[in-house]
Amino acid sequence: MHQLKRRGLMYVLSSPSGAGKTTITRALLKTNPDITVSISATTRPRRAGEVHGQDYIFVDTNQFRDMVDNGEMLEHAKVFDHYYGTPRAQVETALANGQDVIFDIDWQGTQQLFQLAAEDLVRVFVLPPSRSALEKRLRDRSKDTLETEEQIRGRMSKASDEMSHYTEYDYVIINSDIDNAIHQAQMILDSERLKRRRLAGLSDFVRGLKDGL
């Protein structure tokens, strides 16, 4: 079986802001050398410490629209007055080489990916354990991001809409404990990697076994 080539998968983590998807993503990247992160293109301003091509691909609105019009995006959406999207080439190359790609995108982008490549997609939605826990995480984070009270309230309001889309996902993780949430995310990844449809050449392998009996 170790001789079979596996096609990579697209592993999507979605959640309201503050529910923990970024922490889970970083943990999976740290412990899985054969997974890479999808680097999104965005029109939002670069924040302090962010690196172009590493955190995001920073483009202006006209550049972004050109990428969409030229079919260079797998998915794209407008979030909080800025555009975000996934460049197609980097993902398709990784999947063909048997490398998994992890996505930190919202439900809109996930729907677009599902329409294009359902067989390659694994959809995981991360929920907070309570409304109060989500608000506390957002307020704690605002000390670093310097978000205003209005912005925090806007994220809380948007969270309600985002969470209503949990039924469109294959798996749900309730992040009441971050270590357990990371463990669950890893178990999902491990099981999805073993699915029959991801193993290229499996039918030939089985045929060879049968011929030798």
Nearest to 167 by CA among 111, 100, 208, 102: 111
Full residue range of the structural domain in which residue 49 is found: 5-197
Q: 72 lies in a domain?
A: yes
In the block, tokens 């999104």 appear at: 40
End-to-end C-alpha distance for the chain, whole angstroms: 18
Question: Could you tell me if 137 and 22 are in contact, meaning their C-beta atoms sit under 8 angstroms apart?
Answer: no
How many whole angstroms from its chain centre is CA 213?
44
Question: Could you tell me if 206 and 48 are in contact, meaning their C-beta atoms sit under 8 angstroms apart?
Answer: no
Question: Could you tell me if 178 and 58 are in contact, meaning their C-beta atoms sit under 8 angstroms apart?
Answer: no
pTM of the model: 0.83
CATH code where residue 128 lies: 3.40.50.300
Q: 173 lies in a domain?
A: yes
Query: How many domains does the chain fold into?
Result: 1
| Mean pLDDT, contiguous 10-residue spans, the chain (213 residues) | 80 90 94 93 92 93 96 89 92 93 91 93 94 79 67 78 93 96 98 91 87 82
Q: Return the C-alpha torsion angle 71, 8, 188, 102, nearest 10.
A: -40
205-209 contacts at long range (C-beta below 8 A, 24 or more positions apart): 205/1, 205/3, 205/4
State the Cα–Cα distance between residues 101 and 38, nearest whole angstrom. 6
Q: 213 lies in a domain?
A: no
Backbone angles phi, psi at 147, to 5 degrees: -75, 150
% of the chain residues with pLDDT over 90: 61
**Confidence at residue 146, expressed as pLDDT on a 0 to 100 scale:** 61
Q: 84 lies in a domain?
A: yes
Q: 68 lies in a domain?
A: yes
Q: 47 lies in a domain?
A: yes
Q: 38 lies in a domain?
A: yes
* CA dist 24 → 13, 116, 138, 175 (Å): 9, 25, 16, 10
Q: 212 lies in a domain?
A: no
> pLDDT tens digit string along 139-191?
776 666 666 777 777 777 788 889 999 999 999 999 999 999 999 999 999 99
